[in-house]
């Protein structure tokens, strides 16, 4: 395994922001991965999977690890019924190829998460979610290396401390995910949860797992920009939680504000709605702007750099804050 210095990271983040990595390597085995951790014990480290949820505002003063460790195996569990399927998948497998693999075999649980960019190893970091499903619902275990001690650890679902677009891996930044163990099922019954998807499936009496995947792909392709054509990192902000009282106040002026009851008197509202009503839907400033079909996504229309993105982010946050009194929190990781 070679180490490279001053490596351009533009092609390793879906926003296409430019930055140099002080050191860069691409381990292809777990042994190589361990070696790069022990070769550079004191360097700051960043693991890039698909690079679909981060961008750079400056050079990375440390070691960037871009693993390419693939593989998948079915684990049989004697104590479980046949209905349950357990798969251990290595971190560098492409997420959507894995979803397609499962759907083709009738394995149930990942179909709503079709077409999300990135790798399997990145999925638990921000607990990817779409159309009423979150990856935490099908994760049994995550195997990761503690980058400080070199120890391999296994995290049960509870130990991953999953939250909305959040986990222990995102919060601490000190684990390198090696593999994820999924718990899938064979029996499928479509449960309507999400309006957009229900509408897409209304003509099918009993949608199959493949029908759901196909419908999700159609909805996503209509709403979301392809990062290969228009560089972006998916939803830029998290959907915010506010008090019921706060929501009622906004509703007095904007009766169609989406508000879904959460817990402790909080409701989850829609960042896309707030950005839209703040006048930022499809708004563009030079090479940076929100996507016209889904204002929650910030798009790089040309050669915007990380600082242009941050400036635009601040502008959107400022507008939403002054109109609605809500602080939008980025979902994307900024380096
Ligand atoms: N809306 C507007 N104007 C628009 C678009 C949307 O007001 O132009 C409002 C509508 O009220 C709509 C609501 O926003 O009902 C929600 O929009 P959408 O269904 O597109 O979903 P979202 O809440 O904006 C979340 C996830 C997406 C995920 C979709 C579908 C987050 C941060 N984002 O977006 O995830 O695909 O739901 O389930 O939770 C990602 O994380 O990168 C991502 C794309």
Q: Which atom of ligand 1 is nearest to the CA of 164?
A: 39
Last residue of a domain, one of 49, 65, 81: 65
Q: Are residues 80 and 126 in the same domain?
A: yes
Angle, CA of 135, 138 and 140, to the nearest 5°? 115
146: left (phi over 0), alpha (psi -120 to 50) or beta: beta
226, part of any domain: no
Residues 17 and 37 in one domain: yes
Q: How far is the CA of 296 from the centre of ligand 1 (A)?
A: 7
189 and 82 both lie in a single domain: yes
State which ligand 1 atom lies nearest to the alpha carbon of 238: 32
Give the per-residue pLDDT at 79. 60
Pocket test for ligand 1, best of 129, 165, 233 (most atoms within 8 A of CB): 129
**Residue 123 and residue 11 share a domain:** no
> What is the C-alpha to C-alpha distance for residues 320 and 302, in angstroms, rounded to an integer?
25
The per-residue pLDDT for 133 is: 95
Note whether 176 and 121 are same-domain residues.
Answer: yes
Cβ atoms of residues 180 and 91 within 8 Å: yes
Pull the structure tokens for residue 3.
């180490």
Residue 191 CA, distance from chain mean position: 23
Question: Under a CB-based contact definition with an 8 Å cutoff, are residues 86 and 264 in contact?
Answer: no
* CB of residue 294 inside a 6 A radius of ligand 1: yes
Same domain, 237 and 318: yes
- Any ligand 1 atom below 6 A from CB of 276: yes
β-partners of residue 39 are none
pTM: 0.94
Q: Does some domain include residue 188?
A: yes
CA 92 / ligand 1 centre spacing (Å): 27
Q: Is residue 207 part of a domain?
A: no
**44 and 96 housed in the same domain:** no
Q: Which of 14, 92, 141, 165 is catalytic?
A: 165
Q: Considering the domain boundaries, does residue 117 fall inside one?
A: yes
Q: What is the CATH number of the domain that holds 88?
A: 3.30.465.10
Q: Is the CB of 166 under 6 A from ligand 1?
A: no
| Domain contains 16 | yes
Q: Assess if residue 218 is contained within a domain.
A: no
User: Looking at the structure, do residues 256 and 303 belong to the same domain, yes or no?
Assistant: yes
d(CA 237, CA 296): 7
Say which CATH number the domain at 314 has: 3.90.78.10
Which pLDDT score, from 0 to 100, does residue 263 have?
87
Does ligand 1 have an atom closer than 6 angstroms to the CB of 236? Answer: no
Domains: count for the chain? 3
Q: Is 235 in the pocket of ligand 1 (CB under 6 A)?
A: yes
Q: Other CB atoms closer than 10 Å to residue 199's CB: what's the count? A: 12
Q: Output the domain CATH number for residue 11.
A: 3.30.43.10
Range(s) of the domain holding residue 322 = 232-334
Q: Is 295 in the pocket of ligand 1 (CB under 6 A)?
A: yes
Question: Which of 118, 163, 270, 326 should be mutated for ligand 1, with most atoms under 8 A from CB?
Answer: 270
> Is 144 in the same domain as 168?
yes
Does residue 301 lie within any of the structural domains? Answer: yes
165 annotated active-site: yes
DSSP string covering 13-39, please? Answer: STT----EEEEEE---SHHHHHHHHHH
CA 193–ligand 1 middle distance (angstroms): 14
Q: Quick one: pLDDT at residue 229?
A: 94
- Domain assignment present for 200: no
Ranges of residues in the chain whose predicted pLDDT is under 70: 77-81
Q: Which residue has the tokens 């070679």?
A: 2
Pocket test for ligand 1, best of 241, 273, 280, 282 (most atoms within 8 A of CB): 273
Tell me, yes or no, whether 315 and 274 share the same domain.
yes
Residue 61 shares a structural domain with residue 91 = no
pLDDT computed for residue 78 by the predictor:
58
- Domain stops at, among 24, 44, 65: 65
pLDDT in the model for residue 193: 86
Task: Pick the closest to residue 43 from 122, 121, 145, 147 (CA basis).
Answer: 147
Helices (H) and strands (E) in the chain, counts: 8, 20
| Active site annotation includes 222 | no
pLDDT at res. 82: 79
Asked whether residue 19 falls in the same domain as residue 131, the answer is no
Q: Is 331 a catalytic residue?
A: yes
53 contacts 118 by C-beta, under 8 angstroms: yes
Check if the beta carbon of residue 142 is closer than 8 Å to that of residue 180: yes
Ligand 1 geometric centre to CA of 272 (Å): 6
Last residue of some domain: 65, 83, 102?
65
């Amino acid at each position: 395994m070679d180490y490279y210095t001053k490596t351009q990271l533009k092609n390793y983040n879906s926003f296409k922001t430019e930055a140099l990595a002080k050191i860069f390597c691409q381990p292809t085995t777990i042994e190589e991965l361990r070696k790069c951790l022990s070769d550079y014990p004191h360097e700051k480290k960043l693991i890039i999977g698909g690079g679909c949820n981060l961008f750079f505002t400056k050079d990375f003063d440390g070691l960037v690890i871009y693993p390419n460790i693939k593989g998948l195996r079915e684990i049989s569990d004697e104590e479980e019924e046949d209905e349950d399927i357990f798969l251990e998948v290595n971190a560098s497998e492409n997420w959507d190829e894995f979803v397609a693999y499962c759907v083709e075999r009738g394995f149930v649980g990942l179909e709503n998460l079709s077409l999300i960019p990135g790798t399997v190893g990145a999925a638990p970091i921000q607990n990817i979610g779409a159309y009423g499903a979150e990856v935490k619902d099908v994760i049994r275990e995550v195997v990761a290396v503690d980058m400080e001690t070199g120890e391999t650890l296994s995290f049960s679902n509870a130990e991953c401390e999953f939250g909305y677009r959040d986990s222990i891996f995102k919060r601490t930044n000190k684990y390198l995910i090696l593999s994820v163990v999924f718990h899938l099922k064979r029996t499928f019954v479509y449960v309507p949860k999400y309006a957009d998807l229900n509408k897409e499936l209304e003509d099918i009496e009993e949608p199959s797992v493949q029908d759901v995947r196909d419908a999700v792909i159609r909805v996503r392709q209509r709403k979301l920009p392809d990062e290969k054509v228009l560089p972006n990192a998916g939803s830029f902000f998290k959907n915010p939680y506010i008090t019921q009282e706060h929501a009622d106040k906004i509703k007095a002026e904007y009766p169609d504000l989406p508000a879904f009851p959460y817990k402790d008197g909080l409701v989850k509202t829609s960042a896309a709605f707030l950005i839209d009503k703040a006048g930022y839907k499809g708004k563009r400033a030079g090479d940076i702007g929100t996507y016209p079909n889904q204002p929650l996504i910030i798009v790089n229309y040309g050669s915007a750099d990380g600082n242009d993105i941050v400036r635009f982010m601040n502008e959107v946050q400022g507008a939403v804050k002054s109109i609605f009194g809500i602080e939008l929190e980025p979902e994307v990781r900024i380096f």
